[in-house]
C-alpha cells in the first residue's frame, strides 16, 4: 500500500512532519511516495514522478496549511483518491491531523477512518472556454483601483444585480473562508448549496443568498473605463476577464473531494476550536 506525501516546503514544521510521517507509515507497512521535485530535500521514502504520484497512491497526504490542502485535494479528486491534510500552517481548518497527532496515521493501514465528501464548483469563462475548479470559492473582483463594479447574476432568466467590490460563489467548505470574512453564513459541509456573498456592497440590504447545489449561475461584471475585472479560484492566481465575458458557475460534474477523517471530532468542534 502506498501513500503520496505532498509537502509545502515554505512551512516551518514541514521537514519534521515529513520524516516522522514516513517513519510511522513504514512501521505500518505503507510505502511513502514523495514527488521527485522535492525528494532530494528529504531523502526518505521513494521518489515518484510529479504526474504519476496521485495515480499510484492509495491515499494522498498533504502537509501545509489550508492553501496546500485546497490545491492538493483537487489533484487527488481528479484521480478519485482520498486526501488527508496535516496542518503545518496557522489555522488549518481543513486539516485532518495536527503535527502532534501523527501516530494516528497507523489507522490508515487498519481502515479505521471515515471519508467525508466535499462538493466542488467549476467556473467556465465564455471568452476563452477555460474551466477552473474550486473547493472553496470562485471570486469575481475588481483590480486595485478604488472603484466598484456592477455585477449581474443570472439564474435561469432571473436576475440579481450588485454594485460592489466583487462577488463570492462559495461551496459549504468555502463558507468558513473568504465568504465568512465578507459576512456570509457558515454551512455544515453536509448541506449541499452554493453561497453567493457580495464583497463590500454599496447597499445596506445586500446579503448572502443560498442557492441549490444544482443551480447554474451566469455572472457578468463591468466597471468604469479602465477598470479590470478578475476571476480567482481558491485564492490562486487571478484570471483577467475580457470585457463582456460571462462566467458560468455550477457544481462540478463527476468530481468530488474525499477528505480522510482519522479523528472523531465533529465539524462543530473544529469550528469552535479554530474559528471562535
Catalytic residue among 16, 52, 58, 66: 66
**Could you confirm whether 66 is annotated as catalytic?**
yes
Q: Is 216:156 a contact under the CB 8 Å cutoff? A: yes
| DSSP track, the chain | -EEEEEE-TTSTTHHHHHHHHHHHHHHTT-EEEEETTTHHHH--SEEE-TTTHHHH-SEEEEEESHHHHHHHHHHHHHTT--EEEEE-SS--TT-SEETT-GGGGGHHHHT--EEEEEEEEEEEETTT--EEEESSEEEEEE-SSS--EEEEEEETTEEEEEEESEEEEE-TGGGGTHHHHTTPPP--TTS-EEEEEEES-SSSS---EEEETT--EEEEEE-STT--EEEEETT---EEPPTT-EEEEEEEEEEEEEEEE-S---HHHHHHHHH-
Task: Give the span between the Cα atoms of 223 and 229, in whole angstroms.
Answer: 8
Q: Is 175:274 a contact under the CB 8 Å cutoff? A: no
CA angle 257, 259, 260 (to 5 degrees): 150
Active site residues: 66
Amino acid at each position: 500500500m502506498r501513500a503520496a506525501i505532498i509537502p509545502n516546503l515554505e512551512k516551518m514544521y514541514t521537514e519534521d512532519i515529513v520524516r516522522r510521517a514516513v517513519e510511522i507509515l513504514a512501521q505500518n507497512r505503507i510505502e511513502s511516495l514523495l514527488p521527485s521535485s522535492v525528494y532530494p530535500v528529504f531523502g526518505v521514502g521513494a521518489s515518484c514522478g510529479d504526474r504519476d504520484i496521485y495515480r499510484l497512491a492509495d491515499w494522498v497526504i498533504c502537509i501545509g496549511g489550508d492553501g496546500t490542502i485546497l490545491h492538493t485535494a483537487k489533484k487527488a479528486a481528479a484521480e478519485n483518491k482520498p486526501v488527508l491534510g496535516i496542518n503545518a500552517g496557522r489555522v488549518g481548518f481543513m486539516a485532518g491531523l495536527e503535527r502532534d497527532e501523527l501516530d494516528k496515521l497507523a489507522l490508515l493501514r487498519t481502515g479505521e477512518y471515515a471519508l467525508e465528501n466535499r462538493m466542488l464548483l467549476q467556473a467556465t469563462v465564455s471568452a476563452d472556454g477555460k474551466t477552473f475548479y474550486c473547493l472553496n470559492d470562485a471570486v469575481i473582483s475588481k483590480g486595485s483601483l478604488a472603484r466598484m463594479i456592477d455585477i449581474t447574476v443570472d439564474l435561469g432568466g432571473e436576475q440579481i444585480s450588485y454594485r460592489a467590490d466583487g462577488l463570492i460563489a462559495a461551496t459549504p467548505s468555502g463558507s468558513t473562508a473568504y465568504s465568512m470574512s465578507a459576512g456570509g453564513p457558515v454551512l455544515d459541509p453536509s448541506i449541499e448549496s452554493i453561497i453567493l456573498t457580495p464583497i463590500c456592497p454599496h447597499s445596506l440590504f445586500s446579503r448572502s443568498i443560498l442557492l441549490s447545489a444544482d443551480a447554474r449561475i451566469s455572472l457578468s461584471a463591468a466597471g468604469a473605463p479602465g477598470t479590470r475585472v478578475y476571476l480567482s479560484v481558491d485564492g490562486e492566481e487571478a484570471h483577467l476577464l475580457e470585457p463582456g465575458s460571462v462566467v458560468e458557475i455550477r457544481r462540478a460534474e463527476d468530481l468530488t473531494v474525499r477528505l480522510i477523517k482519522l479523528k472523531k471530532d465533529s465539524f462543530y468542534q473544529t469550528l469552535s476550536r479554530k474559528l471562535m
